């Protein structure tokens, strides 16, 4: 369970990106949608412990992300949209670090690299990788171990067909294993049938839609509207905003 | 030590060691080679200045801070991003990065230990000097790695570096105490400069339609890309003119030789300025593939760059003309051509290990020598400006802006790369 309580955050002195944002995200896929700049990626960074909120707290399975940092992050995997890896480490070293921190054997890192097709480039430093290869490297890092809380920022972007299928199959396995998966995506098609709930950010507040309509057409309609930043239609079946 | 902290330390030790090998070892090797040319008394004098003089601690601390200041942005790149979601505390991240920055200073430390051996007598004194250097390196690292409570940390760490570098007795003990206090105060790893302000890096206004608007837009982008490199380039450009001024002031020279000195100083100064600015532009403002789809010709693009370089080089010409007004016309005739040559060099920089600076220095150096010996060649330079611009435009068109040049990726468009800074 990822619990965000009273989150406030701004990048400067201007308009806050998030103000008193609240959300409880349980097992299953939470699709985080909304127009550009509404605060989706910021919310994900805050949930991943990358950005410290100005106000409020984030808990992962009851562990505060900033006072109990190690325990809270133990089951966390985050795939950012821009893979910001240190340029002076090799891919193998980064995966080795992830394995040690998650208590996994080194072979788990090698297997993850094999899975994303980077095994042959494992000796290269990050600055020698293309952006797509860097994305694969962070994806490989997310494959290591059994993370229960997975945060994905546009996971299918810049992926070829095969890689997309692999990522979606991995997400399916995570959902089946009862993991909490939160993904930001403008590509709604692959995630619409998998989503257990929709989270959107509007005026700095989180709006959670749970449960979602069973009817695929209604579900799709709701997703499209929320992704455009519009209000949810009053549907025949309830798709009531949660907390 | 917690397993997570140990894992981070091992990881960052490798990063620091790699940085030390890549960036600083060649520099220190060069310094050692240069030192080989000097006599032992010179080295003894240098060692005494660094280790036994009145301001010895300050000099060593400044050296360590300089190297740590270069290493820290590279080690800490991404430290406030993806890696923070891993199960390790912010304090562990900061300490591991601090260690990496300290390790990156190893080549400097080894050089200083060698010098300490010349200045300090007795095993005890040498040991204390070594301990002082290690504490100084750590303090410099603490001062440069971003921390949550950065101001008190930096104040304590700077004081620790200056005291520990003295390398004996009470100052060393006080330095170590302040270092521990700085570490205790620092807290978890902080954000790098501007890292939390993506809005500051928002894209500029879209390209306007008029060529003048496009030029202003290009100039704005270039100014942003250059930042503090521009004043640095002026300093580099003014140095040869200063040397020429000293030469003229301290010698009884006929007017012909004064002109020669002014032209040589001015020409070399222009070359250094253009090389510095050109290299910075090539690395920090690489070719922008999308902009090539806009209604602007290659000739317009290279002319815009040449005009930008020429306008900014004007003060160098003006200062060189202060030596003798007769230098103004030859320099004014030659510098548009040098700016056009530099604009062309920018277009080949991604394919060359010497970047844009190598070509500019070679062409500019030769041009400055020719101009000093044969000032009338300024007319030829002026006439050549247009063909040079056309050649630069042809280069611009031939650029493979979307091609993946892996070996040069470290420099091109990566402001954190050592070769790009």
Both B173 and B283 in a single domain?
A: no
Please check whether residues B111 and B40 belong to one and the same domain. Answer: yes
**Together in a domain, B170 and B236:** no
Average pLDDT over residues A140-153: 91
Same structural domain, B172 and B296: no
Q: pLDDT class for B413, splitting at 50, 70, 90?
A: very low
Which tens digits make up the pLDDT trace of B92-141?
A: 999 999 999 999 888 888 888 888 888 777 777 788 888 888 999 999 99
Range of the domain at A133: 83-146
**B289 and B153 fall within a common domain:** no
**Which structural domain, as residue segments, surrounds residue B403?**
210-420
Of B170, B186, B202, the one marking the end of a domain is B186
The confidence score (pLDDT) of residue B204 equals 35
Identify the residue with better confidence: B118 or A241: B118
Lowest mean pLDDT among A42-46, B74-78, B101-105, B251-255: B74-78
User: How would residue B420 be classed by pLDDT, with cut points 50, 70 and 90?
Assistant: very low
Stronger pLDDT, B420 or B392, i.e. the higher one: B392
Name residues whose C-beta falls within 8 Å of residue A212's C-beta, 6 or more positions apart in sequence.
A195, A196, A197, A198, A219, A222, A239
For A113, the 3-state DSSP assignment is helix
Residues of A in contact with B414 (CB under 8 A): 87, 127
Q: Are residues B175 and B238 in the same domain?
A: no
Q: What is the pLDDT of residues A20-38, one digit of tens each?
A: 899 999 999 999 999 998 8
Strands A63-64 and A76-79 turn out to be unpaired
Weakest-pLDDT range from A188-197, A224-233, B250-259, B290-299: B290-299
Q: Closest Cα partner for A137 from B6, B83, B418? A: B83
Give yes or no: residues A140 and A154 share one domain: no
Same domain, A71 and A6: yes
Are A55 and A155 part of one and the same domain?
A: yes
| Residues A132 and A185 occupy one common structural domain | no
Give residue for tokens 């980064």. A94
> Is the per-residue pLDDT at B198 higher than 50?
no
Is B148 found in the same domain as B60?
yes
Distance CA A170, CA A192 (A): 16
pLDDT attached to residue B290: 63
Q: Give the Cβ contact number of residue A215 at 10 Å.
A: 13
| CA dist., res. A195 & res. A136, Å (int) | 23
Give B212's pLDDT tier (boundaries 50, 70, 90). Answer: low
Question: Is A48–B85 a contact, with Cβ atoms under 8 angstroms apart?
Answer: yes
pLDDT score for B8: 85
Task: Establish if B149 touches chain A: CB-CB under 8 angstroms.
Answer: no
pLDDT at B418 over 80: no
Q: Is residue A166 assigned to a domain?
A: no
- Point out the domain boundary residue: A103, A123, A146: A146
Phi, psi values for residue B172, rounded to 5°: -65, -45
Looking at the fold, whether B361 and B413 belong to one and the same domain comes out as: yes
**Measured between alpha carbons, how far is residue B337 from residues B149, B270, B303, B363, B384 in Å?**
51, 11, 11, 11, 7
Check: CB of residue B111 under 8 Å from CB of residue B26.
no
Residue B197 has pLDDT above 70, yes or no: no
pLDDT band at A210; cut points 50, 70, 90: confident
What does the pLDDT average to over B264-290?
Answer: 87
- Residue A171 in any domain: the answer is no
> Confidence class of residue A8 from pLDDT cuts 50, 70 and 90?
very high
- Do B283 and B146 reside in the same domain of the chain? no
CATH at A31:
3.40.50.300
In chain B, which among 382-411 make CB contacts under 8 A with chain A? 404, 406, 409-410
Residue B218 falls inside a structural domain? yes
Looking at the complex, report in whole angstroms how far the Cα of residue A238 sits from the nearest Cα belonging to chain B: 36
Q: What is the pLDDT of residues A65-112, one digit of tens each?
A: 888 888 888 888 999 888 777 777 888 888 888 888 888 898 999 999
Name the residue among B7, B188, B410 with its Cβ closest to that of A97.
B7
The arithmetic mean of pLDDT across residues B209-223, rounded, is: 66
The per-residue pLDDT of chain B, averaged, comes to 81
Interchain pair B87, A70: CB under 8 A? yes
Whether A96 maps to a domain, the answer reads: yes
Mean pLDDT score, A182-207: 91
Percentage above 70 pLDDT, chain A: 95
As beta bridge partners, residue B352 has none
Q: Which of B150, B170, B186 is the last residue of a domain?
A: B186
Nearest to B414 by CA among B105, B78, B68, B8: B78
**Residue A113 and residue A188 in one domain:** no
Own/partner pairs, B173-177, CB within 8 angstroms, 24+ separation: B175/B132, B175/B135, B175/B136, B175/B139, B176/B135
* Predicted local distance difference test score (pLDDT) of residue B215: 64
Return the pLDDT at B221.
79
Q: Is residue A165 part of a domain?
A: no
Q: Which of residues 71-110 of A touch B (CB under 8 A)?
A: 71-74, 76-78, 80, 83-89, 93-94, 96-98, 100-103
Domain annotation covers residue B166: yes
- Residue of B17, B85, B103, B415 to mutate for A, most A C-beta atoms under 10 A: B85
Q: Do A127 and B82 touch (CB under 8 A)?
A: no
pLDDT, residue B167, reads 73
**Residues pairing with A209 in the sheet:** A198, A241
Residues B159, B234, single domain; the answer is: no
Partners of A32 in beta bridges: A184, A199
Evaluate whether B12 touches B100 at the Cβ level (below 8 Å). Answer: yes
* Percentage of residues in chain B having pLDDT higher than 90: 36
Residue B192 included in any domain = no
Q: Decide if A172 is inside a domain.
A: no
Task: Note whether A101 contacts B409, CB cutoff 8 Å.
Answer: no
Q: Is position A169 within any domain?
A: no
Instruction: List CB contacts of B178: < 8 A, sequence separation 6 or more.
Output: B139, B156, B157, B159, B160, B163
Highest mean pLDDT, choosing among B5-9, B252-256, B350-354: B252-256
CB atoms within 10 A of CB B33: 9
- Nearest CB to B82; choose among A12, A71, A80: A80
Considering only CB atoms, which chain A residues are within 8 Å of B406? 128, 130
Q: Is residue A62 part of a domain?
A: yes
Total tally of structural domains belonging to chain A: 2
> A115-134: per-residue pLDDT in tens?
888 899 888 887 778 888 88
pLDDT (0 to 100) of residue A179: 94
Q: What is the mean pLDDT of residues B54-65?
A: 79
Q: Over 70: is that where the pLDDT of B404 sits?
A: no
Q: What is the pLDDT of residue B73?
A: 82
Whether residue A58 lies inside any domain: the answer is yes
Given A93, A122, A146, the domain boundary residue is A146
Supply φ then ψ for residue A111, to 5 degrees. Answer: -65, -40
pLDDT greater than 50 at residue B409:
no
Q: Is the peptide bond before B254 cis (omega within 30 degrees of 0)?
A: no
Overall number of domains in chain B = 2
Average pLDDT over residues B17-44: 73
Provide the percentage of residues in chain A whose pLDDT is more than 90. Answer: 35
Residues A2 and A87 in one domain: no
A120 and A8 within one domain:
no
Indicate the DSSP class of residue A125: B
The answer, for B85 touching chain A at a CB cutoff of 8 Å, is: yes
Same domain, B114 and B179: yes
Q: What is the 3-state secondary structure (H, E, C) of chain B?
A: CCHHHHHHHHHHHHHHHHHHHHHHHHHHHHHHHHHHHCCHHHHHHHHHHHHCCCCHHHHHHHHHHHHHHHHHHHHCCCCCCHHHHCCCCHHHHHHHHHHHHHHHCHHHHHHHHHHHHHHCCCHHHHHHHHHHHHHHHHHHHHHHCCECCHHHHHHHHHHHHHHHCCCCHHHHHHHHHHHHHHHHHHCCECCCCCCCCHHHHCCCCCCCCCHHHHHHHHHHHHHHHHCCHHHHHHHHHHHHHHHHHHHHHCCCCCHHHHHHHHHHHHHHHHHHHHHHHHHHHHHHCCCCHHHHHCCCCHHHHHHHHHHHHHHHHHHHHHHHHCCCHHHHHHHHHHHHHHHHHHHHHHHHHHHCCCHHHHHHHHHHHHHHHHHHHCCCHHHHHHHHHHHHHHHHHHHHHHCCCCCCCHHHCCCCCCCCCHHHC
The kind and range of the H/E element at A30 are strand A28-33
pLDDT of residue B406 exceeding 70: no
Q: Which residues pair with B140 in a beta bridge?
A: none
Q: Is the pLDDT of residue B159 over 50?
A: yes
Residue at B69 is within a domain: yes
Contact A151, A47 (CB under 8 A): yes
Residues A156, A222, single domain; the answer is yes
Once rounded to an integer, what is the mean pLDDT over residues B203-229?
Answer: 63
Cβ contact A88–B19 (<8 Å): yes
* Final residue before a domain boundary, out of A123, A146, A169: A146
Block residue for tokens 């050109």: B278
Q: What's the gap in Å between the CA of A197 and the closest CA on chain B?
A: 24
| Mean pLDDT for the stretch of residues B281-292 | 74
Concatenating the DSSP letter of every residue in A176-233 gives HTT-EEEEE-S--TTTTTTEEEEEEEETTEEEEE-SPPSSHHHHHHHHHHHHTTPPPP
pLDDT of residue A112: 93
pLDDT at A230: 82
B43 touches A at CB < 8 Å: no
Band of pLDDT at residue B44, cut at 50, 70 and 90:
confident
Separation of alpha carbons B285 and B274, rounded Å: 15
Considering the domain architecture, whether residues A71 and A96 belong to the same structural domain is answered as no
Residues A60 and A133 in one domain: no
- The arithmetic mean of pLDDT across residues A158-166, rounded, is 84
Of chain A residues 109-168, which have a CB less than 8 A from chain B? 125, 127-128, 130, 138, 151
Cα–Cα dist B52/B55, whole Å: 8
Average pLDDT over residues B209-235: 76
Query: Does B93 reside within a domain?
Result: yes
State the pLDDT confidence band at A6, using cuts at 50, 70 and 90. very high
Q: Which of B4, B7, B77 sits opposite A86 (nearest CB)?
A: B77
Among B154, B170, B186, the domain boundary falls at: B186
Interface A-B: count of C-beta contacts within 8 A: 112
B78 touches chain A (CB under 8 A): yes
> Is A90 found in the same domain as A35?
no
User: Cβ atoms within 10 A of the Cβ of B47, count?
Assistant: 20
- The answer to whether residue B204 sits within a structural domain is no
Check whether residue B245 and residue B328 sit in a common domain.
yes
| pLDDT at site B126 | 81
Assess whether pLDDT exceeds 60 at residue B411: no
Radius of gyration of chain A (CA): 18
The pair of three-digit structure tokens given for residue A216, joined into one six-digit string:
């695929």
């Amino acid at each position: 369970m990822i619990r965000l309580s009273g989150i406030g955050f701004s990048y400067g002195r201007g308009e806050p990106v998030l103000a008193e944002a609240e959300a409880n995200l349980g097992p299953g896929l939470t699709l985080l949608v909304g127009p550009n700049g509404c605060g989706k990626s910021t919310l994900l960074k805050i949930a991943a412990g990358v950005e410290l909120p100005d106000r409020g707290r984030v808990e992962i399975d009851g562990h505060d992300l900033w006072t109990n940092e190690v325990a809270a992050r133990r089951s966390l995997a985050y795939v950012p949209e821009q893979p910001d890896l240190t340029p002076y480490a090799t891919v193998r070293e980064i995966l080795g670090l992830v394995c040690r921190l998650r208590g996994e054997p080194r072979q788990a890192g090698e297997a993850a690299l094999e899975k994303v097709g980077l095994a042959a480039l494992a000796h290269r430093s990050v600055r020698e990788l293309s952006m797509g290869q860097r994305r694969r490297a962070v994806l490989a890092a997310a494959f290591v171990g059994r993370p229960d809380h997975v945060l994905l920022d546009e996971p299918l972007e810049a992926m070829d067909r095969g890689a997309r299928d692999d990522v979606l199959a991995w997400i399916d396995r995570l959902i089946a294993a009862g993991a909490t998966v939160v993904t930001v995506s403008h590509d709604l098609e692959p995630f619409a049938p998998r989503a257990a709930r929709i989270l959107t950010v509007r005026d700095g507040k989180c709006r959670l839609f749970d449960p979602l309509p069973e009817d695929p057409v209604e579900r799709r309609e709701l997703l499209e509207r929320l992704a455009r930043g519009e209000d949810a239609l009053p549907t025949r079946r309830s798709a009531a905003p949660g907390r | 030590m917690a397993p997570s902290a140990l894992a981070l330390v091992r990881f960052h030790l490798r990063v620091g060691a790699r940085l030390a090998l890549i960036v600083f070892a060649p520099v220190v090797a060069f310094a050692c080679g240069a030192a080989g040319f000097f006599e032992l008394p010179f080295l003894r004098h240098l060692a005494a200045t660094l280790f036994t003089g009145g301001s010895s601690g300050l000099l060593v601390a400044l050296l360590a801070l300089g190297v740590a200041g270069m290493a820290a942005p590279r080690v800490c790149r991404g430290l406030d991003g993806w890696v923070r979601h891993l199960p390790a505390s912010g304090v562990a991240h900061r300490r591991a990065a601090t260690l990496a920055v300290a390790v990156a200073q190893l080549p400097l430390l080894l050089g200083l230990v060698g010098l300490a051996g010349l200045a300090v007598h007795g095993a005890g004194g040498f040991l204390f000097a070594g301990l002082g250097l290690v504490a100084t390196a750590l303090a410099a690292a603490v001062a440069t790695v971003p921390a949550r409570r950065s101001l008190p940390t930096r104040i304590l760490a700077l004081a620790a570096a200056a005291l520990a570098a003295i390398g004996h007795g009470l100052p060393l003990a006080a330095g170590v105490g302040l270092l521990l206090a700085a570490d205790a105060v620092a807290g978890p790893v902080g954000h790098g400069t501007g890292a939390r302000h993506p809005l500051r890096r928002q894209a500029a206004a879209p390209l306007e339609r008029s060529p003048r608007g496009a030029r202003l837009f290009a100039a704005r982008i270039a100014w942003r890309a250059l930042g503090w490199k521009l004043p640095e380039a002026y300093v580099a450009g003014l140095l040869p003119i200063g040397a020429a001024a000293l030469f003229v002031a301290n010698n009884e020279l006929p007017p012909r030789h004064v002109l020669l000195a002014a032209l040589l100083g001015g020409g070399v100064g222009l070359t250094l300025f253009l090389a510095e600015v050109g290299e910075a532009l090539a690395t920090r403002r690489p070719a922008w593939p999308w902009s090539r789809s806009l209604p602007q010709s290659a000739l317009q693009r290279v002319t815009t760059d040449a005009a930008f370089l020429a306008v900014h080089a004007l003060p160098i010409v003006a200062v060189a003309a202060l030596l003798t007004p007769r230098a103004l016309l030859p320099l004014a005739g030659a510098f548009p051509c040098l700016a056009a040559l530099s604009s062309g060099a920018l277009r080949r920089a991604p394919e060359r290990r010497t970047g844009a600076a190598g070509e500019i220095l070679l062409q500019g150096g030769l041009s400055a020598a020719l101009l000093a010996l044969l000032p009338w060649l300024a007319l030829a330079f002026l006439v050549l400006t247009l063909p040079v611009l056309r050649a630069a435009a042809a280069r611009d068109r031939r650029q493979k802006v979307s091609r993946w040049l892996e070996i040069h990726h470290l420099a091109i468009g990566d402001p954190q790369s050592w070769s790009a800074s």
